């Protein structure tokens, strides 16, 4: 199990930008692919982006392509999500998660989760 703590959420106007961070407490961070998910009220948790263990490969959900960027720093045990051109429909609690395998978009494939951070985009 990996302990994950997200930070950086907040309130932003539509069209604005916000950066999320996720700190991992583990000595083997580079052994995990990392993902970002989000959950809006009354909706199921959905995949946002994932990054490979090395950081060289990424996958995004279609609605955030070109607007969101996932990255990681294995030396700092951290993964990031930079969000630009935010829309009201991006409003959700954002979670980071860890998986032993890359390219997985279903939440059940991720065994370690953070507590989430709220992102609210006003119109």
Q: What is the pLDDT of residues 30-60, one digit of tens each?
A: 999 999 999 999 999 999 999 999 999 999 9
The length of the chain, given as a count of residues = 123
pLDDT tens sequence across 56-85: 999 999 999 999 999 999 999 999 999 999
pLDDT bracket for residue 1 (50, 70, 90)? confident
d(CA 19, CA 8): 6
Mention every residue, 6+ apart, whose C-beta is less than 8 A from residue 59.
49, 50, 103, 105
DSSP at 17: -
d(CA 20, CA 79): 8
pLDDT at 3: 97
| 16 contacts 121 by C-beta, under 8 angstroms | yes
């Amino acid at each position: 199990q990996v302990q994950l703590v997200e930070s950086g959420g907040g309130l932003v106007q539509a069209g604005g930008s916000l950066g999320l961070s996720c700190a991992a407490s583990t000595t083997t961070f580079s052994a995990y692919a990392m993902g970002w998910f989000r959950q809006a009220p009354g909706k199921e948790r959905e995949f946002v982006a994932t990054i490979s263990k090395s950081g060289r490969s990424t996958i995004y959900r279609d609605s955030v392509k070109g607007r969101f960027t996932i990255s990681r720093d294995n030396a700092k045990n951290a993964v990031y999500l930079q969000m630009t051109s935010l829309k009201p429909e991006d409003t959700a609690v954002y979670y980071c998660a860890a998986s032993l395998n890359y390219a997985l978009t279903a939440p059940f494939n991720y065994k370690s989760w953070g507590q989430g951070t709220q992102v609210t985009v006003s119109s």
